[in-house]
């Protein structure tokens, strides 16, 4: 395995083309998420309502697990923008998934500082441990493995992000314990050398 700028991201989860297929019943926020959305948009001037698209999409993804075409339509309608506007945002940011992912999404940074500190070997160790390749989810839908660009903690390379938690200074021999801990203790294993992203209202 080698790092290459043209290497595809987890294409199975991050669709870059427009016009996602409609699927299932219409998406609407839960009452709790609608209340959060209503509060979030108050942070922006009325004529800049569209600026709330990122937190609006995070709410949709937290609710459904990934971004559906119906969720894109709902967000577009609430913000008064087009579906294409929302799809462009979804396709630009790799943190939005357009297909179901596992309970734990492991994102290995492959950008230079992490690469020169052994990220490739960390990925190989995860591939061996999980039996899946980058861009895949295991059959139990517990783990999804992705390779991504800089996660913003370059001084603690190599970095593996598990859901919203940074696990820093990872070595190939560390990730086996990380996987075992996640299997045994679930979210409680997301502790220690990590931070939690504060993104909810
Ligand atoms: S290069 Fe990996 S976190 Fe920045």
State pLDDT tens for residues 30-44.
999 999 999 999 999
Residues 200 and 49: their CA atoms lie apart, in Å, by 17
User: For the residues 120-134, what does the mean pLDDT come to?
Assistant: 97
Provide the token pair at 131.
């039996």
Digit-coded pLDDT (tens) for 154-184 = 999 999 999 888 888 899 998 899 999 999 9
Work out the mean pLDDT of the chain and round it to a whole number. Answer: 86
Is the separation of the CB atoms in 162 and 132 below 8 Å?
no
Question: Does residue 126 lie in a domain region?
Answer: yes
- Determine the residue of 113, 147, 167, 193 to mutate for testing ligand 1's pocket, defined as the one with the most ligand atoms within 8 A of the Cβ atom: 113
pLDDT of residue 81: 96
Q: How confident is the model at residue 200 (pLDDT cuts 50, 70, 90)?
A: very low
Question: Does residue 201 lie in a domain region?
Answer: no
Domain tally, the chain: 2
The whole domain housing 183 covers 104-189
pTM comes to 0.78
What is the CATH number for 79? 1.10.10.1590
Domain boundary among 52, 78, 99: 99
CA distances to 2, 17, 141, 178 from 21, in Å: 33, 11, 22, 36
Let me know whether 12 and 79 are in one domain: yes
Is the separation of the CB atoms in 53 and 86 below 8 Å?
yes
Let me know whether 27 and 82 are in one domain: yes
pLDDT of residue 7: 47
CA of 94 to the centre of ligand 1 (A): 15
Is the separation of the CB atoms in 161 and 174 below 8 Å?
no
Q: How confident is the model at residue 189 (pLDDT cuts 50, 70, 90)?
A: confident
Let me know whether 93 and 137 are in one domain: no
Let me know whether 121 and 38 are in one domain: no
Let me know whether 29 and 65 are in one domain: yes
Smallest Cα–Cα separation from 54: which of 27, 62, 161?
62
């Amino acid at each position: 395995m080698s790092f290459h700028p043209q290497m595809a991201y987890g294409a199975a989860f991050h669709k870059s083309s427009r016009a996602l297929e409609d699927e299932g019943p219409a998406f609407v926020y839960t009452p709790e998420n609608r209340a959060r959305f209503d509060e979030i948009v108050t942070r922006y001037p009325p004529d800049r309502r569209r600026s709330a698209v990122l937190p609006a999409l995070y709410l949709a993804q937290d609710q459904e697990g990934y971004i559906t075409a119906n969720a894109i339509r709902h967000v577009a309608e609430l913000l008064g923008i087009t579906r294409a506007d929302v799809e462009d945002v979804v396709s630009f940011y790799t943190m939005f998934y357009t297909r179901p992912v596992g309970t734990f999404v492991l994102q290995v940074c492959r950008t230079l500082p992490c690469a020169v500190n052994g990220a490739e070997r960390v990925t190989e160790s995860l591939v061996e441990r999980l039996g899946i390749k980058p861009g895949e989810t295991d059959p139990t839908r517990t783990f999804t493995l992705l390779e991504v660009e800089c996660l913003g903690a370059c001084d603690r390379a190599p970095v593996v992000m598990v859901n919203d938690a940074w696990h820093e200074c990872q070595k190939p021999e560390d990730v086996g314990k990380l996987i075992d801990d996640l299997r045994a203790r679930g979210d409680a294993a997301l502790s220690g050398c990590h931070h939690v992203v504060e993104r909810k209202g």
